[in-house]
Chains A and B, each alone.
Chain A
Amino acid sequence: MTFHRGAITSIMGPSGTGKTTLLRLIARQLHPDRGHILIDGVDVAGLSQSGLYALRKRIGMLFQNGALLTDLSVFENVAFPLRAHTRLGERLIRLVVLTKLHAVGLRGAADLMPSELSGGMARRVALARAIVMDPDILIYDEPFVGLDPISMGVIVRLIRRLNDTLGISSIVVSHDLKEIAAVSDQSFLLSDGAAVASGSPEELKQNDTEMVRQFMHGLPDGPVAFHYEAPDYSQQLLDQGTP
């Protein structure tokens, strides 16, 4: 799999096929058993602790639920990476944080605590936090899950806009076809831990592999079986009677 610089690449696939695992491998929160992950030609598995931290400063990650630090205000959450890694003065930090919050439209919410935010707002704050260090790579883990249509539209627009204005390479994990089609330049379809198809969303729709068709068109039965693995139906029903 190759992710192109400056493009939005999406990773799709049924639940449990290893999408989130892939993200964690990229950020090396997990160690690969086999294979290599190269970022700018460097194998992440071979990085030292400090090398890894240097790499992570270049990666912004948006977690499923935002993962805002609950004991800090919105402002402090966004300022967190700055305080940890830079020696900027208080005024400069304020400037940067407010700019990023403005970019996601939440400058007015700076003094709220994360518990006071709605799901969509929390995710936008998390997005502001992810871009505060001006990363080269932005990773979105299921950014559309559990949002109302308005928030979803906002997030979709933000992903597109941030990618284009900041020149970031984005990786989006999701299974919301419509939103993915709206934002991504290229998609991968994962199944059982392997990429089974790739291309632009339109190309994938045309793809007539059984697996891809089932996923793209939401068919209930196919390679991903409707029934969980079980003994023969009639056999099991009959067995119930005899002790």
Chain B
Amino acid sequence: MKFLHDLWRSQSEFVRTFGAMTLFFFQLLRYSPSTLVRRFSLVVAQIFNAGALSIVIIMVSGLFVGGVLGLQAFANLERFNAEEATGILAGFALVKEIGPVITALLFAGRAGTALTSEIGLMKATDQLSAMEMMAVNPMQRVFVPRFLGGIIAMPLLTAVFTMVGLLGAHLVAVELLDVDVGAYWQQLQQAMELDDVYEGITKSIVFGFVASLIAVWEGYNSVPTPEGVGRATTRTVVSTAIAVLILDFMITAYLL
């Protein structure tokens, strides 16, 4: 009986949190246009925080992920004498799946945690209350710029990751393993349609919304103590990872 009661409580708590998060999401959307127009400089600062500061980790990761894809693709295709298809394999993997997904995961780890802890800290040190007391809506001053910054940064980060990844695969396959450079790119270009690139971009846009929403929400919803902020930061990474992977499956299934 107690078990059932606990189960019911945790379930209803989950549903309640989900509902609160949805309402928060609508609030963010509602204030987005006015924030974009009137407080554009704040949005720019957040694009810098979420995007420009993540560029190094994105590029380094992209280079090596691309490189390892090139290695694996080559090693397996070599058995069929089809090394030239390395470009196809690495390219498709990067553009459609690995680029958007890994970028979103890295984003959660680098920018998402920073957002959550920053907002959590602002909450813990009464900065949000102080803003309300000064009759400034924290929605426009704090939450929406961070949300929009993440949304704008994600597709760009994904594009950079994918491009650097292709370069990494190119370096390994062409420079290291002597795949013909013409064959590498030509096969890729012939196999890949614009729709495949759009699929990757669609994913990155969806992931941008989800990852930014989760990061900002967890900060907003955090318990305003050092311990609470720490836990919220952890939750950001976990929730984002799960949400991104589930959504990735759903989008892929839908678009196929």
A interface residues with partner B (beta carbon < 8 Å):
24, 27, 29, 52-54, 56-57, 59-61, 63-65, 67-70, 80-81, 84-85, 126, 129, 133
Beta-carbon contacts under 8 Å, B112-131 to A: 121-122, 125-127, 129-131
Could you say which residues of chain B place their CB within 8 Å of the CB of A85?
Answer: 135
Q: Looking across the interface, which residue of chain A has its beta carbon closest to that of B42?
A: A71
Choose one: A24, A54, A65, A81; the contact of B134 (CB below 8 Å). A81
B75 is an interface residue with CB less than 8 A from chain A: no
Please provide the 7 A-B residue pairs with the shortest distance between their CB atoms, ordered closest to farther: A67-B126, A67-B130, A53-B135, A56-B135, A63-B126, A61-B133, A81-B134
**In contact, A70 and B133 (Cβ under 8 angstroms):** no
Residue of A nearest to B121 (CB): A70
| Residues in A neighbouring B242, C-beta threshold 8 A | none
User: Is B133 within 8 A of A65, CB to CB?
Assistant: no
**Is B177's beta carbon under 8 Å from chain A?**
no
| CB <8 Å contact, B127 and A68 | yes
Q: Within 8 Å CB of B130, what residues of A? A: 61, 63, 67-69, 126
Nearest-neighbour CB distance to chain B for A201, whole angstroms, equals 28
State the CA gap A27–B121 with chains docked (Å).
22
Residue of B nearest to A59 (CB): B133
Contacts of B133 in A (CB 8 A): 27, 29, 56, 59-61
CB–CB A67/B135 < 8 A: no
- B136 CB–A CB distance under 8 Å: yes
If A67-B129, A81-B134 are given as contacts, then 7 extra A-B residue pairs at C-beta distance below 8 Å, sorted by A number, are A29-B129, A29-B133, A57-B134, A59-B133, A63-B126, A69-B130, A84-B134
Q: CA–CA, A29 to B123, complex, Å?
A: 14
**Could you jot down 28 A-B contacts, CB within 8 Å?**
A24-B129, A29-B132, A29-B133, A53-B135, A54-B135, A56-B132, A56-B135, A57-B134, A57-B135, A60-B133, A61-B130, A63-B130, A64-B126, A65-B125, A67-B126, A67-B129, A68-B127, A69-B127, A69-B131, A80-B134, A81-B134, A81-B135, A81-B136, A84-B134, A84-B135, A85-B135, A126-B130, A129-B134
Are A63 and B135 in contact (CB-based, < 8 A)?
A: no
> With the chains together, A220 CA to B109 CA distance in Å?
49
**Contacting residue for A56 out of B121, B126, B127, B134, CB 8 A:** B134
A67 touching B132, Cβ below 8 Å: no
Distance, CA A97 to CA B133, complexed state (A):
19
A113, B141: Cα distance in complex, Å:
19
- Give the CA-CA distance A27 to B126 in the complex, in Å: 14
Shortest beta-carbon distance, B217 to chain A, in Å? 20
Which A residues are CB-close (under 8 A) to B125?
65, 67, 70
Q: How far is the CB of B17 from chain A (nearest CB, A)?
A: 21
Query: Which chain B residues lie closer than 8 Å to A52 at the CB level?
Result: 135
Point out the residue from B121, B129, B136 that lies within 8 Å of A80, measured CB to CB.
B136
Across the interface, which residues of B come within 8 angstroms of A129, CB to CB?
134
List chain A residues, Cβ under 8 A from B122. 69-70
- Binary contact readout B186-218 vs A (1 if CB under 8 angstroms, 0 otherwise): 000000000000000000000000000000000
Give the distance to chain A from B58, nearest Cβ to Cβ, in Å: 24
Chain A nearest Cβ from B24, distance in angstroms? 17
The answer for the CA separation of A56 and B132 in the assembled complex, in Å, is: 8
The chain B residue with its CB closest to the CB of A139 is B133
CA distance A54 to B130 in the complex (A): 15
For the complex formed, measure the closest distance between the CB of A42 and the CB atoms of chain B, giving whole angstroms: 16
Nearest residue, chain A, Cβ from B128: A67
Instruction: Give complex CA distance A122, B136 in Å.
Output: 20
* Most interface-central of B121, B122, B126, B131 (chain A CB within 10 A): B126
Chain A residue at minimum C-beta to C-beta distance from B124 = A65
Q: How far is the CA of A79 from the CA of B167 in the complex (A)?
A: 48
Min CB gap B102→A, angstroms = 29
Within B43-94, which residues are at the interface with A (CB < 8 Å)? none
Contact A67 B127 (CB under 8 A): yes
Q: What's the minimum C-beta distance from A131 to chain B, rounded to whole angstroms?
A: 12
Q: How far is the CA of A135 from the CA of B128 in the complex (A)?
A: 20
Nearest Cβ in chain B — how far from A152, in angstroms? 20
Chain B, residue nearest A69 (CB): B127
With CB as the reference atom, state the residue of chain B lying closest to A77: B130
State the Cβ distance, B47 to closest chain A Cβ, in Å: 15
A70 and B134 contacting across the interface, CB-CB below 8 Å: no
Bound complex: CA of A52 vs CA of B121, how far in Å? 26
A59 to B122, CA, bound (A): 21
Contacting residues, chain B, for A64 (C-beta < 8 A): 126
